[in-house]
Structure 1
Amino acid sequence: MSAARKPILLWAVPRSRSTAFLRVMIERGDLEVAHEPFSYLQADGHVEFAGRRVTSPIEMLDLMLDVSAGERRVFAKETSDYTYTPLLEDKRLFSDVVNTFMIREPRAAISSHYAMNPGATLDEYGFEYLHTIFDAVRSATGEIPLVIDGDDLVADPEPTVRAYCERVGLDFKPEAMRWEPGRRDNWRRTDQWHAEVAESSGLVAGKAPERRETPDTNEHLRRVAEHHQPFYDALARHRLAG
């Protein structure tokens, strides 16, 4: 498969604004878009994509490759609060997929995640595992994968999206930067996590609620942030700078 037809996979730490980025990819209209298919497989045992029901990560990868070889290139975003061992053992993930990554300043991402899921484990905050996947891709390909930062995305939307598109072999479509507010079937299963995106019409930084636990007010979150900060720092050294 040519590089221009390879599926694009965005690996993202939870609460990094990755669904807002996915919303841009949906609005383009020329991509077959999947929202967290491998997470859904782990949670539900099945996922619907491109008119088919799949029940394993390798079957999902097969389908992504098949669809991209046809008329519509696949864009999928996935979060790092689950682990994906069988998928990472399939060499096609590295040779036949364009793997990209999305981060966000840990203290803000962790505070937002905790507000949605106060019972999250240390690993579910995702920075360490995102770094593990990044290292696997870098080791397998010999190249440094593309990294974008959710804070950069909302601070400088068009240059960030334009540069991302250029790196992964997509034409930049400025009309995809705006959309009609509303929920999408793509993320119906995890709808409550994406209320801000559903209410939005473009890439903007929403205001954090005034009353929210943060690493400054919560000792548990302070320890979580201290654990994950080095992994964010390692990834941030490679991020696409505006």
Structure 2
Amino acid sequence: MWSGPRNLSTAMMYAFGNRADCAIWDEPFYAPYLAATGADHPMKDAIIAEHETNPAEVGRRCLDTISAQKPHFYMKHMPHHMIAGFPLDWASQCVNVHLIRHPARVIASYGAKMDHMTLEDIGYPQQAALYDRLGGVVIDSADIRADPEGMLRKLCAAIDLAFDPAMLHWPAGPRAEDGIWASHWYNAVHQSTGFAGAEGDLPELAGEAAQLCRDAMPFYEKLAAVRLSSV
């Protein structure tokens, strides 16, 4: 599952993680990305200390034996973590799904946690490039929130996986599989037991944030045009 930040990605990981037949992995390339770029992210030093930072080793583990010997392995990946030189050949052996969200919502949410962001920080160009390279299924987070069961059924059908009603709800609180960064980023999802309801109007952006949204829109619209239909 490829997804930019603030994009329902953790809730989707919890949904798949609540299946008895599915192991999950939270942002495997986050620590390698931070170690390689020196990007100033919250908890950077702790993330690097706690998680594997060798991108080649992470890539190997993406195709290694599935943890807990479960039939399926759900990996939550961020497109902007896959910088030049990081291995990507493993992804051609996976089912690739691209989770998207309108840039205005991402920018408003990400801006509440980060003082500064660029187009590359929110991953829209990288995600469009990954889709061009890997193909796969596209699904919009707004469609999922508007109809969780209907859209998860469609997604499961598209990737040849039986739908499991357990995906619709999960226990409140953190999961053992959370990355160490969960304490900064996952407050809302830790309080949840299922998908939040349909979103309201788009947030109003001004200045640099509005320009950033305009820059991201062509990449979003490209993927939205081929997303799973909500009707």
Q: TM-score range by the shorter chain?
A: 0.7 to 0.9
> Does 1:66 find its partner at 2:64?
yes
Please give the alpha-carbon distance, in whole angstroms, between the structure 2 residues aligned to 1:47 and 1:162: 36
Residue in 1 aligned with 2:214? 226
Please give the alpha-carbon distance, in whole angstroms, between the structure 2 residues aligned to 1:47 and 1:232: 33
Q: Secondary structure at the match of 1:28?
A: coil
Please give the alpha-carbon distance, in whole angstroms, between the structure 2 residues aligned to 1:70 and 1:177: 22
Q: Which amino acid aligns with 1:173?
A: D
Q: Secondary structure at the match of 2:145?
A: helix
How many pairs align? 214
> Does 1:124 find its partner at 2:112?
no
Identify, as 1 or 2, the structure richer in helix: 1
| 8 Å CA contact 1:87, 1:93 repeated in 2 | no
Q: Which moved more, 1:126-135 or 1:55-64?
A: 55-64
Please give the alpha-carbon distance, in whole angstroms, between the structure 2 residues aligned to 1:166 and 1:203: 20
Q: Secondary structure at the match of 1:158?
A: helix
Give CA-to-partner distance per residue, 1:158-199, whole Å, 9 cap, x none.
Answer: 111112122223221102311221122322422221111110
Which runs of no fewer than 5 residues in structure 1 stay unpaired?
Answer: 1-9, 49-53, 139-144, 209-213
Deviation at 1:68, TM superposition (A): 4.1
Please give the alpha-carbon distance, in whole angstroms, between the structure 1 residues aligned to 2:23 and 2:83: 22
Which runs of no fewer than 5 residues in structure 2 stay unpaired?
Answer: 35-46
Please give the alpha-carbon distance, in whole angstroms, between the structure 1 residues aligned to 2:76 and 2:56: 16
> Does 1:174 find its partner at 2:171?
no
Give CA-to-partner distance per residue, 1:112-160, whole Å, 9 cap, x none.
Answer: 111111222231021111111111213xxxxxx1001111111010111
Identify, as 1 or 2, the structure richer in strand: 1
1:183 to 152, 159, 174: 174
Deviation at 1:45, TM superposition (A): 4.8
Residue in 1 aligned with 2:37? none
TM-score (norm 2): 0.83
Segments of 4+ moved more than 3 angstroms: 44-48, 68-71, 205-208
Structure 1 residues 169, 62: closer, same or farther in 2, change over 3 A? farther
Structure 1 residues 225, 170: closer, same or farther in 2, change over 3 A? same
Q: Secondary structure at the match of 1:189?
A: coil
Give CA-to-partner distance per residue, 1:6-32, whole Å, 9 cap, x none.
Answer: xxxx00021111111111011113222
> Does 1:114 find its partner at 2:114?
no
Deviation at 1:87, TM superposition (A): 3.8
Give CA-to-partner distance per residue, 1:23-79, whole Å, 9 cap, x none.
Answer: 10111132220011111332245765xxxxx44233223222222499322110112
